[in-house]
Amino acid sequence: MSLEKEALLRALGAEVIRTPTEAAWDAPESHIGVAKKLQREIPHGIILDQYRNVNNPLAHEYTTGPEIIEAVVSTPSTSTRPSTGKVDVIVAGAGTGGTVTGLSRAIKKEHNPECTVVAIDPKGSILAVPASLNTEGDGEQYIVEGIGYDFVPDVLNRSVIDAWIKTGDEESFAAVKSLMRTEGLLVGGSSGSALAGALRWLKTEEGKKVADTPGKNVVVLLADGIRNYMSKPWFLKSAMESEPSALAGTIQQILNKEDSSETKENGSAVIDSIRVTSASTQETTAQVSSISPSSSR
């Protein structure tokens, strides 16, 4: 969990207990295990439990989903930007699974039963099906936060998902950088995973059919913002150590011209100053010479 998330929670008055990332989900020292222990021993303690709380997917079925449908339906189809008027493909990351499950229900129930739902799962997670998809990077730690788990949450209904795409950290962070630079969207790592996964799916046999059909609407859900990750090494490296932009060369040329101009002006001023100093020295010497006799008197 990022430092920003912890700081925000503490600012709201919460107590934050960090647990080892490498702990298995059902281990006593895991975040779930510690939460259950505290619930048992703290009077009136409750666990909101995003992994099993039915209101998790319901929130997206009744709010996020309809919002997306309305946005697509209300966008007019034009000759230059044709539209089917439907959500043809929805791509979202899978963490607890509440978002992608709720979106699938909202879109397929009444809006478009033929919509293709694509879930994104990071390498190292075990959510994707078939299980063979999870063999690459099995058990490895991944840096992207908010998606993927080492167990299948109860709220994730994998039967309503049509396709799974596995993504890696490198391509996810590259997609984040692209979104920031080209779209001005300050998103986090899981949003990069969603975009990278969408682009990968569009290169599959089924995806190519969609990509080659004018008017098809592919919605990619960008579910996080960069605010929670600004102290992360991957973001700082991307922001502070990235290659210069196309404008950098122009700026350098302008500044070099100014520096050159200032150098010439300063050099002229130095020469003039030397000349003035030299003249002043001669004048002073002459004055001293003229008064020396009188001072001897």
Q: Please state, rounded to an integer, the average pLDDT across all residues of the chain.
A: 89
Strand 218-220 to 163-167 pairing: unpaired
The strand pair at 116-122 and 163-167 is best described as: parallel
Cα gap 222→209, rounded to integer Å: 24
Query: Cα dihedral sign for 274, 276, 278, 284?
Result: negative
Q: Which residues contact 275 (CB under 8 A, 6 or more apart)?
A: none
Q: Which residue has the higher pLDDT, 13 or 283?
A: 13
Both tokens of residue 102? 């709720």
Model pLDDT for residues 72-103, shown as the tens digit of each residue: 999 999 999 999 999 999 999 999 999 999 99
Q: How confident is the model at residue 27 (pLDDT cuts 50, 70, 90)?
A: very high
pLDDT at 56 over 90: yes
Q: Is the pLDDT of residue 43 over 50?
A: yes
Give the pTM: 0.82
- pLDDT tops 80 at residue 196: yes
CA distance 164 to 103: 15
Tell me: pLDDT of 286 over 80.
Answer: no
Token duo for residue 96: 């607890």
Mean predicted confidence (pLDDT) in 115-126: 97
**What integer pLDDT is reported at residue 25 of this predicted model?**
86
Residue 55 predicted with pLDDT over 80: yes
pLDDT at residue 265, as a whole number = 59
What is the per-residue pLDDT across 131-167, written as a single tens digit (0 to 9) for each?
999 999 888 899 999 999 999 999 999 999 999 999 9
Three-state SS sequence of the chain: CCHHHHHHHHHCCCCCCCCCCCCCCCCCCCHHHHHHHHHHHCCCCCCCCCCCCCHHHHHHHHHHHHHHHHHHHCCCCCCCCCCCCCCCEEEEECCCCHHHHHHHHHHHHHHCCCCEEEEEEEECECCCCCHHHHCCCCCCCCCCCCCCCCCCCCCCCHHHCCEEEEECHHHHHHHHHHHHHHHCCCECHHHHHHHHHHHHHCCCHHHHHHHCCCCCCEEECCCCEHHHHCCCHHHHHHHHCCCCCHHHHHHHHHHHHHHHHHHHHHHHHHHHHHHHHHHHHHHHHHHHHHHHHHHHC
Q: Cα separation of 106 and 112, whole Å? A: 9
**The predicted structure's pLDDT at residue 87:** 98
In order of 7, 31, 130, 162, the CA distances from 165 in angstroms are 33, 27, 11, 10
Mean pLDDT across the stretch 238-251?
89
